[in-house]
Structure formats: structure tokens, C-alpha cells
């Protein structure tokens, strides 16, 4: 099983949203970057995903969720009322994908971006590289272990 990291704004869909209904899948949609979209397409049922809170006061990894439905057409791209509407996307040739995720666990303490930047072994993780703004990215097995060990 692969490991991933997905950025979100906690006011929109944070780890607490998953924790409130731990068995209820939440659609991860609205990704509008082709490389991040391709990573969503690569996600498979059972893959684990680190939830990274961004664009907020407390930035960092807040918890873990699991993929329960692999990539499918993101319906928000066709909804003119959605902030994720894409007029250039067509139902017969959709551009964007979504996955469904469920709660696994909330970390006892946020692993901050500043902390992540100091951890040996994470130098190649796009999250800590200058200028990287991907909202979805793969995390290697060793990187996964390093990150979760940092929560102690």
C-alpha cells in the first residue's frame, strides 16, 4: 500500500471533520493541479494519507486518513455553483478526480512544518522543499516512519 500527504485548510475539511464521523467517507475533491490530480489517480483503496493543515494558524500534519474509494470523476468540476467548477471540463472527458477517505487517527500533537524541515531523511519530500505547492504528494515508507516518529 502506498502512502500519501494531502494538504487542506482545516476550516474546509480538516482532521476534525473526519473524526466527527469516523466511519463516514468524505470526498476529497477540488484538486486543480495536474500533477496532484495524477497522484489522486494513483491512490488505491487501503492507502494511508497524512492530513496536512495549511493556510491556517497552526500549520502541520494533524492526522491520518485512509482511502476507501479510489479515483473517480470529481463532480464539482461540472457544478457552476461550486468554487471548483471548470467550464473547460466535459462529462465525456473530465479533467479532475476525487477519492473518498475515512478517519484513521488524529495525532496527539500537530507535527509542524518547522519540525518537519529539521528531520533528517525528509530532504526529498516535496512538502519541505522550497517553492513546492503541491496539494497531494507521495510519501515514501522511510519518510512515513520518520514523520510518525516525530509525533513523540
Task: Specify the pLDDT at position 134.
Answer: 87
Q: Is the dihedral of CA 113, 33, 44, 23 positive or negative?
A: positive
Phi (first) and psi of residue 91, to 5 degrees:
-55, -35
| DSSP three-state, residue 3 | strand
Tens digit of pLDDT for each residue in 74-125?
999 999 999 999 999 999 999 999 999 999 999 999 999 999 999 999 999 9
Phi (first) and psi of residue 109, to 5 degrees:
-145, 140
91: left (phi > 0), else alpha (psi -120 to 50), else beta? alpha
Amino acid at each position: 500500500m502506498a502512502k500519501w500527504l494531502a494538504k487542506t485548510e482545516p476550516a474546509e475539511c480538516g482532521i476534525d471533520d473526519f473524526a466527527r464521523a469516523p466511519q463516514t467517507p468524505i470526498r476529497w475533491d477540488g484538486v486543480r493541479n495536474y500533477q496532484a490530480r495524477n497522484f489522486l489517480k494513483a491512490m488505491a483503496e487501503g492507502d494511508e494519507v497524512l492530513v496536512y493543515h495549511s493556510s491556517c494558524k497552526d500549520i502541520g500534519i494533524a492526522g491520518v486518513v485512509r482511502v476507501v474509494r479510489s479515483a473517480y470523476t470529481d463532480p464539482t468540476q461540472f457544478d457552476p455553483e461550486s468554487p471548483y467548477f471548470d467550464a473547460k471540463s466535459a462529462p465525456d472527458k473530465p479533467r479532475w478526480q476525487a477519492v473518498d477517505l475515512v478517519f484513521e487517527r488524529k495525532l496527539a500533537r500537530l507535527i509542524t512544518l518547522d519540525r518537519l524541515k529539521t528531520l533528517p531523511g525528509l530532504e526529498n519530500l516535496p512538502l519541505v522543499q522550497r517553492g513546492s505547492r503541491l496539494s497531494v504528494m507521495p510519501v515514501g515508507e522511510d519518510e512515513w516512519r520518520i514523520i510518525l516518529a516525530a509525533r513523540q
